[in-house]
């Protein structure tokens, strides 16, 4: 993979840490921008409020946001025999076909059918399997089915069932391109007011799209990191975003990715030191040793132990620095994961 360099034979235990369960945020704060912000620099750790980000960015700097929109991708249904079925749509392939994770008492075989809703029920049939995902064919338009029967696909570490608050808050204020099954959570802290203030300051806001897939919650099942196969996600960088980023870089201005998904889209689209417009799938797996071509700073939430996202931020800011930052965040009682607090990471030189 272009940009990848192996500097150490890392193992899964290199990316582990201890987290008291009570620090996992179960609900969003009443106000989006009321979160805390841990600024991680080469010289230290700085405890701030998220609104302090306005003072940390400069005119001409580009903030890149992922404008994907979370769909109500989780369906609860039943087998014809009455057994319970849970489906998490990963990707819509055609109006009536999708790839999905399926949870049942027994792994379903090709031809198996599931029923969703009542009077009349929607039927989905298993047409094949692709690694962890099943190809399902519905007897109705999938977008309409999800809109009517779907649930917000909250992460597995959030204990409550989704409700109206989640439907509003597990979505960025700038979401516009439906397709994600998980929110790009670093963007959840931004309000329209904060975005307006940033623009008035002269900060340039650009948008890319990366549809976050269910694979983001799949555990790494190998001990040796080099053996892990990264899940695939679709992304798009349009011509306007590429132009904004390339002009900023040419002028010596910083590029700040809002979220690991924005960073993955940008670095996946980097060629010869420039950002290229286009749309494709990416399996880019970023671990320590990766050579970043585009992104100078990263706004991100705190990530799960042993996760590919923790590996990414360790590559970006330095493994030792991330270990110190996470230990500090635990000690200072920061809120963790999707509904938790944020970090601003400076790229390790």
pLDDT of 220 over the 60 cut: yes
CB atoms within 10 A of CB 32: 19
Question: Average pLDDT of 279-290?
Answer: 96
Which run of H or E residues covers position 270? Answer: strand 270-271
**234: alpha, beta or left, given left = phi > 0 and alpha = psi -120 to 50?**
beta
pLDDT of 3 over the 70 cut: no
| 85/60 same-domain check | no
| 187/221 same-domain check | yes
| 54/79 same-domain check | no
pLDDT of 204 over the 60 cut: yes
pLDDT of 4 over the 70 cut: no
| 225/334 same-domain check | yes
Residue 8: predicted pLDDT:
73
* C-alpha dihedral (109, 113, 116, 117), degrees to nearest 10: -160
300 token code pair: 């991100």
| 197/334 same-domain check | yes
Mean pLDDT of the chain: 95
pLDDT of 33 over the 70 cut: yes
Q: Is the residue at 7 inside a domain?
A: no
The DSSP line for 174-220 is T--EEEESS--GGGGG--HHHHHHHHHHT-EEEEEEE---GGGGSPP
CA distance 238 to 245: 11
pLDDT band for 319, please (50, 70, 90 cuts).
very high
Question: Average pLDDT of 7-19?
Answer: 91
- Find all residues with CB under 8 Å of 208, minimum gap 6, and list them: 64, 65, 66, 67, 235, 236, 237, 238, 241, 262, 265, 266
Question: Average pLDDT of 54-80?
Answer: 97
214 token code pair: 């269910």
| 187/140 same-domain check | no
Residue 7: predicted pLDDT:
54
What letter would DSSP give residue 167? H
> How many domains, the chain?
2
| 192/296 same-domain check | yes
Q: Is the residue at 145 inside a domain?
A: yes
Which residue in the block uniquely carries the two structure tokens 């919650």? 217
Domain boundary among 85, 119, 149: 149
Tens-place pLDDT, residues 234-266: 999 999 999 999 999 999 999 999 999 999 999
Residue 217: predicted pLDDT:
79
| 117/190 same-domain check | no
pLDDT band for 5, please (50, 70, 90 cuts).
very low
What letter would DSSP give residue 96? T
pLDDT of 1 over the 80 cut: no
| 110/43 same-domain check | no
pLDDT of 228 over the 60 cut: yes
Question: Average pLDDT of 171-189?
Answer: 96
pLDDT of 215 over the 90 cut: no
CATH code where residue 51 lies: 3.40.1780.10
Residue 298: predicted pLDDT:
98
pLDDT band for 271, please (50, 70, 90 cuts).
confident
Question: Average pLDDT of 29-41?
Answer: 98
| 231/128 same-domain check | no
**318: alpha, beta or left, given left = phi > 0 and alpha = psi -120 to 50?**
left
Tens-place pLDDT, residues 82-125: 999 999 999 999 999 999 999 999 999 999 999 999 988 999 99
Question: Average pLDDT of 326-348?
Answer: 98
Tens-place pLDDT, residues 132-166: 899 999 999 999 999 999 999 999 999 999 999 99
End-to-end CA separation in angstroms for the chain: 21
Which residue in the block uniquely carries the two structure tokens 């679709």? 234
Domain boundary among 149, 179, 204: 149
Residues spanned by the domain of 229: 12-70+166-346
């Amino acid at each position: 993979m272009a940009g990848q360099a192996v500097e150490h034979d890392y193992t899964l235990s290199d990316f582990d840490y201890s987290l008291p369960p009570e620090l996992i945020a179960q609900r969003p704060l009443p106000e989006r921008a009321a979160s805390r912000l841990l600024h991680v620099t080469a010289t230290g750790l700085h405890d701030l409020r998220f609104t302090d980000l306005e003072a940390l960015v400069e005119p001409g700097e580009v903030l890149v946001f992922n404008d994907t929109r979370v769909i109500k991708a989780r369906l609860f249904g039943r087998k014809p025999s009455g057994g319970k079925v849970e489906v998490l749509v990963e990707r819509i392939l055609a109006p009536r076909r999708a790839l999905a994770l399926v949870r049942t008492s027994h792994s379903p075989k090709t031809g198996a059918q599931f029923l969703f809703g009542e009077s009349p029920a929607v039927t989905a049939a298993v047409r094949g399997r692709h690694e962890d995902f099943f190809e399902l064919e519905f007897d109705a338009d999938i977008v309409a089915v999800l809109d009517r029967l779907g649930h917000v696909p909250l992460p597995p570490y959030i204990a409550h069932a989704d409700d109206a608050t989640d439907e509003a808050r597990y979505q960025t204020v700038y979401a516009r391109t439906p397709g994600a099954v998980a929110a790009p959570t670093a963007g959840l802290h931004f309000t329209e007011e904060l975005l307006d203030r940033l623009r008035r300051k002269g900060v340039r806001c650009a948008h890319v799209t990366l549809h976050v897939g269910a694979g983001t919650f799949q555990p790494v099942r190998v001990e040796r990191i080099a053996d892990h196969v990264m899940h695939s996600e679709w992304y798009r960088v349009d011509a306007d975003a590429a132009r904004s980023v390339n002009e900023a870089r040419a002028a010596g201005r910083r590029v700040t990715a809002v979220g690991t998904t924005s960073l993955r889209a940008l670095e996946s689209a980097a060629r010869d030191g420039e950002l290229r417009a286009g749309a494709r799938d990416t399996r880019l797996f970023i671990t320590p040793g990766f050579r970043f071509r585009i992104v100078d700073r990263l706004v991100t939430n705190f990530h799960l132990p042993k996760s590919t996202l923790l590996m990414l931020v360790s590559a970006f800011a330095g493994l030792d620095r991330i270990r110190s930052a996470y230990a500090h965040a635990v000690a200072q009682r920061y809120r963790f994961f999707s509904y938790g607090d944020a970090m601003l990471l400076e790229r390790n030189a």
